[in-house]
Copies of this chain bind each other. A is one copy, B any other.
Amino acid sequence: MNQTLAASLLDRIGRAFRDVTQTARSWRGAPYREDLPEQDSERLIEQIDLCLEGKGGEVSVRARAAALGRAYLELNEEGRKRFLTVLVERYGLDRELVAERVEAWRRAEDAEAEAKAVAGLRDALDPPAVRLLAQFTGLPQGVKFLVDLRADLIRRAAEDARFGRLADELRRVLAGWFDVSFLNLERITWSSPAILLEKLVEYEAVHEIRSWKDLKNRLDSDRRCFAFFHPRMPEEPLIFVEVALVDGMAGSVQVLLDESRPAEDPHEADTAIFYSISNCQAGLAGVSFGNFLIKRVADELQRELPNLKHFATLSPVPGFRAWFEKQVAAGAADLLTREEKEALSSLIPGEVTAQSFAQALARKDWTEVPALRDGLQAVLTRLCARYLVREKAGRRALDPVARFHLANGARVERINPLGDTSRKGMKQAFGMMVNYRYKLDEVEANHEAYSEGRVIASPAVAKLARA
């Protein structure tokens, strides 16, 4: 959990906590020292044991767990690491207990006994550390606390694989709580609380929000923004999507984000372009609700604006340039077709090879000479189609963004050269962007095709990819 968030949590918990857990605090005696030295760890272990034994009844146990959670928040980086180490060292799975329960299951003689044995075995597979942490929800902001604690564990997994494994166990718990049917899809507008809008700026991961003015422009009358929220984290978006309502397929993100452009009438738009999707909570990595976002938002939009006919993304191709350069480095002979070489021969000095083509692209000004730009783009567009449609790792697409949308049932609709001319866009993909299109009645078939390793594309892209 990052320090700012932790501080803000501590701050919010503040007074509320003081009232609620007065009793809890009395158990803690003196606060733990910030770095949780040996001696304090021992006191900590005592408290955890009391908690896990269920001393004093459920209500007391919750209060005690809340006190432990608060103790964690008050520790420094070093102290937290020690706290987590205590958890993974002492409160992991009890292998003997599991073995015992397996035995009991084997011996069960009737359905009734088997049901009991299964329940017992299941309990034994639930590590005490996880049982303890799940009770931290008693804290004000306790769900957010646990999400952040898992983010912390993931970050520390490199140092100590046990932290990673505890994070995996927590994923299971969080996946239950964050099941999509418990989430609220909410529209975000310029009338939303500033404290929430501020978080869009913080969490936007695709096209950076540069200022409040930029943000306001993205919430204009011809834009929509939706996010999933959990009832217990009402000011924390889980994932959000930014949508532009336009006429026809949009090909350039710079045009979409141009603050000087006047808003158009959303009742005359025929296409909803999903141009940015950002996950907000590192601690929810691996918990799936993103798949539902696009479908749910498309439903909402269609309800509001029956004039909308098409739903598509305008997406980056983050792996394209790296793939291209790897091909060039590997000396791929088939990168350029004969026709392309001919076409480029008057534009590129010397012999036209994958290498000289790559050198031409390496020059910052390649987009500034129209003929050169057009020549290079034509080839890049084809290569990008090939990269998206034909290049795979096993059955899955190479490109990470492609993987998300194809698994969701979208198809590759159109390649947009110079769709993103920002530094990031040029660096990742020579400015290439792609539209993935969601045709609601084909989504299921597309998903099935993709799960068998076939990428569905529009006829135009399919033809390009075959070239």
0/1 per residue, A350-366, Cβ < 8 Å to B?
00000000000000000
Question: Which of A111-119, A307-315, A329-337, A372-380 touches B?
Answer: A111-119
Given contacts A194-B197, A232-B181, contact A299 B20 (CB under 8 A): yes
Question: Which of A287-295, A382-390, A425-433, A454-462 touches B?
Answer: A287-295
A286 within 8 A of B: no
**Interface size bracket, A side:** 35 or more
A57 within 8 A of B: yes
Which chain B residue has the least Cβ–Cβ distance from A231? B231
The answer to whether A59 and B408 touch across the interface, beta carbons within 8 angstroms, is yes
Complex interface: chain B residues within 8 A of A168 (CB)? 115, 119
Specify which of B93, B112, B122 is in contact with A125 (CB 8 Å cutoff): B122
Complex interface: chain B residues within 8 A of A98 (CB)? 105
Specify which of B119, B161, B182, B221 is in contact with A112 (CB 8 Å cutoff): B161
0/1 per residue, A187-202, Cβ < 8 Å to B?
0001111111100000
A33 within 8 A of B: no
A143 within 8 A of B: yes
Cβ distance A155 to chain B, nearest Cβ, rounded Å: 19
A243 within 8 A of B: no
A327 within 8 A of B: no
0/1 per residue, A22-37, Cβ < 8 Å to B?
0100000000000000
Cβ distance A15 to chain B, nearest Cβ, rounded Å: 7
Complex interface: chain B residues within 8 A of A232 (CB)? 181-182
Which chain B residue has the least Cβ–Cβ distance from A125? B122
Specify which of B118, B125, B134, B291 is in contact with A59 (CB 8 Å cutoff): B291
A80 within 8 A of B: no
Cβ distance A320 to chain B, nearest Cβ, rounded Å: 25
The answer to whether A125 and B121 touch across the interface, beta carbons within 8 angstroms, is yes
0/1 per residue, A432-467, Cβ < 8 Å to B?
000000001101100110010000000000000000
Which chain B residue has the least Cβ–Cβ distance from A446? B57
Which chain B residue has the least Cβ–Cβ distance from A15? B267
Contacting residues of chain A (65-108) with chain B, CB-CB under 8 angstroms: 93, 98, 102, 105
Which chain B residue has the least Cβ–Cβ distance from A93? B118
Mostly helix, strand, loop or mixed at chain A's interface?
helix
A409 within 8 A of B: yes
A368 within 8 A of B: no
0/1 per residue, A123-146, Cβ < 8 Å to B?
001000000001001100011000
A165 within 8 A of B: yes
Complex interface: chain B residues within 8 A of A444 (CB)? 23, 56-57, 60
The answer to whether B55 and A448 touch across the interface, beta carbons within 8 angstroms, is yes
Complex interface: chain B residues within 8 A of A292 (CB)? 58-59, 62
Specify which of B57, B112, B216 is in contact with A443 (CB 8 Å cutoff): B57
The answer to whether B56 and A291 touch across the interface, beta carbons within 8 angstroms, is no
A179 within 8 A of B: yes
Given contacts A111-B165, A168-B115, contact A291 B194 (CB under 8 A): no
Specify which of B56, B143, B291 is in contact with A57 (CB 8 Å cutoff): B291
A370 within 8 A of B: no
Cβ distance A439 to chain B, nearest Cβ, rounded Å: 12
Cβ distance A154 to chain B, nearest Cβ, rounded Å: 15
Chain A interface residues (CB < 8 Å from chain B): 11, 15, 19-20, 23, 55-60, 62, 93, 98, 102, 105, 111-112, 114-115, 118-119, 121-122, 125, 134, 137-138, 142-143, 161-162, 165, 168, 172, 176-177, 179-182, 190-197, 212, 216, 221, 231-232, 235, 267, 288, 291-292, 295, 299, 303, 407-409, 440-441, 443-444, 447-448, 451
Given contacts A60-B447, A111-B161, 14 further A-B contacts (CB under 8 A): A19-B299, A57-B291, A57-B407, A59-B408, A62-B181, A93-B114, A112-B165, A138-B181, A176-B177, A181-B232, A182-B231, A182-B232, A190-B195, A191-B235
Closest 8 CB pairs of A and B: A137-B181, A57-B447, A231-B231, A56-B444, A191-B193, A115-B165, A191-B195, A194-B194
Q: Could you list some 16 contacts between A and B, CB below 8 A? A: A20-B299, A23-B440, A59-B408, A115-B165, A115-B168, A119-B172, A125-B125, A137-B182, A138-B181, A176-B176, A177-B182, A192-B193, A192-B194, A193-B193, A194-B216, A212-B212
